[in-house]
Every structure is written in structure tokens, then in C-alpha cells.
Amino acid sequence: MEQALRSLARRAVGLPSAARSRCFGKGPARLRQPWRFCTAAARGGDRARISSAGLREGWGSAGREASKGRRRPEGRALPIERTRGSEILFGVAPCSMALSQARRDLFRLFLKRSGGPQRVVSSEFVLQAAARGVPVFRVGRRELDALCGGRVHQGVCLEATPLRFKRLEEAEEPGVGDGESPNRRLLWLVLEQIQDPMNLGALLRSAYFLGVDRVVTSRRNSCPLTPTVSKASSGAMEVFDVYSTDDLRSFLKAKAAEGWEIVGTVSQSETVENVPVISCLEFRWNKPIILVIGSEGDGLSLETQLLCHQMLVIPSGRALHPGIESLNVSVATGILLHSICSQKLRHGD
């Protein structure tokens, strides 16, 4: 200990008297760990004034101003200019899926500078980017936060062109009596004015997982295919086509004329004039189906309900208090889709 103190004393030669006093002043803490108090002072200037010891001892406004002055550059994110017309995907799954597909134009991949286990994930992204010819930039966490607006990016962002809804005219229409698979069960999911991007993403994830053949959404008053939707879908949006229509009711009428069954959804307390309401557990899938889901607040519009052949309800497991008699739209849709798709699994289709 004595030898260490002598070494510190030699380092303090030439310091102003005030700095030497702060370094070797009296007190048990200084005698126990003198190096903690000497290191900043031995470096001289402002760095001595902003040491934690000095702030604890109350060096006054000068020390606080010096501290603020030192921290400000560290907290400032480097500006990254975006390519015109691009958007920023964020999160491991959306970025990985986008890199693996050829559905977007890709500009730059941003990875967090880090080590440890995340380096393995980073290396995989570098390989994916190299295969697509996408330049890779290593940046800090604050730069990634700024790129994606503070959302959970998991250390990766990807600059790319936006995805758009496909028009129904672009789709290859599978026929009800298709010669290749005349008995195949088809299931389409139709979304009427789903506005929350988290709900839309969750709906796409469930539809993709459970084997829905196509998703169609109303164009008006509906959420677009944003990076938040892609993140909420865990990347399913990057591999699953989503179609839209300007005239949902004409679309449903046309499909009904082709022999499709139009199935709507209601809560337990609702009834629909001239449309039977049954439990989803009683529903039997024996022809191509379109399951229509309504908006988060109002559900299906009356005009759409009247186009349905049946309405499905999810039975509750207990008597429900008023005000909490329904499920989140994405949760309810997942239950309904599983109830329907499980019939396909049982029949081995």
C-alpha cells in the first residue's frame, strides 16, 4: 500500500495544489482507495473536475456544467440520411425474411456494434446481405434507435422500399372445382377496416401459421403494410401476399355467386337478422370459405353482415362482466381459424 501511494504521489507532481489536495486529502476513504480519487486529477483539466468523486463532494456548478458538456457528445446519434422513398424495417425476423425474399429493393443493412452471442446473429445477417449485394454498416445503439423511432430493433435495421397490397386482379384465381384438386378445402381471410398495425401483424402471423390460403383487406380505413406490421407479424408479412379491394361488398357477392360460403363473426350478445348465429365449435367446413373479420371497435358493418351465410361466435368459459364480453380481434381470429383449420387436419387434407 505504501509503495502504491508513493507511485501515485509521483504521478501527481506538477498538479495544481487544489488537485493534489483533492487527490491526497485526509479521510478514511482516500486512504483506503486513493487511486480512485487520483486518476481523474492526474489526467488534469476538465476531466478531473467531472470525476464522480468531485461531483459527490459538491464542486458546484462548474463541475456540473463540465459533466453535461462531456456527456452530450456521447448521447448524440450520428445522422443517417435515408434513401428517398425508403422505409426502415426493424427486428431480427422481419429483416431476415426481407433479405431472404426478392419482394423489396434493399439499400442498406445496419447492425449494432457488439460482441458475444449477438455476433453469431450478426454474422448470419452479413452473409444474407452479401448474397443480395446489400452494403452493411456497423452503428451504435443510438443510431439504430433513431432509425426506427425507438422501437425494439434487436440490434438490426434494414432500409428498403415499402411493401404494397396486391390488387385482386393480380391474383391467380383458384377455382372451386379446380381440376387439380376438386375436393381441396380453401380458406380465405377477409379483413374489414383493421386499423391497428399490431393487430394486423398478429392476424397475418396467425393466418400464415394456420394455413390460410389468402388474406384480403378493404383498402379504405385500413392499416397499410408498415414496418410495425412486419415486426408484429414476426416477418410473416415478408413472405405472405396480402391483397386489397376497393369494393369489399361486391367482392363478397361475386365469391358467393361462385359457390363460396361467406362466414362472419359476432360477439355473444349480438344477433343478425336473417343470418344464423352458431358456435364456432358447431361449424362444419364442407366448401370453400371466406371468413370475414370486422374492425376493432365496431366489428363487421351491417351491410357486410347481411352478405354472410352464417355468423360464428366463440363460446366463453364463464359468465362475463359487462364491458369485457369480447376478445381482441387478433386473438378471436386466431381461435376461429384454429377451430376451422383443425377440421382440415383431422381429415388429412
The answer to whether 82 and 156 have CB atoms below 8 angstroms apart is: no
- Sequence spans of domains, the chain: 2-75, 87-160, 166-347
- CA-to-CA distance for 59 and 68, rounded, in angstroms? 14
Helix (H/G/I), strand (E/B), else coil: 111: strand
The H or E element spanning position 345 is helix 329-347
Question: Sign of dihedral through CA atoms 123, 127, 128, 132?
Answer: positive
Helix (H/G/I), strand (E/B), else coil: 40: helix
CATH for the stretch 166-347: 3.40.1280.10
What is the architecture, at CATH level 2, of domain 87-160? Answer: 2-Layer Sandwich (3.30)
> CA 163 → CA 19, 120, 238, distances in Å?
61, 28, 8
How does residue 100 score in pLDDT terms, banded at 50, 70 and 90? Answer: very high
Mean pLDDT across the chain: 78
What pLDDT, in 10s, does the model give residues 278-313?
A: 999 999 998 999 999 999 888 999 999 999 999 999
What pLDDT, in 10s, does the model give residues 169-219?
A: 777 665 544 444 444 689 999 999 999 999 999 999 999 999 999 999 999
Lowest mean pLDDT among 44-53, 81-90, 133-142, 250-259: 44-53
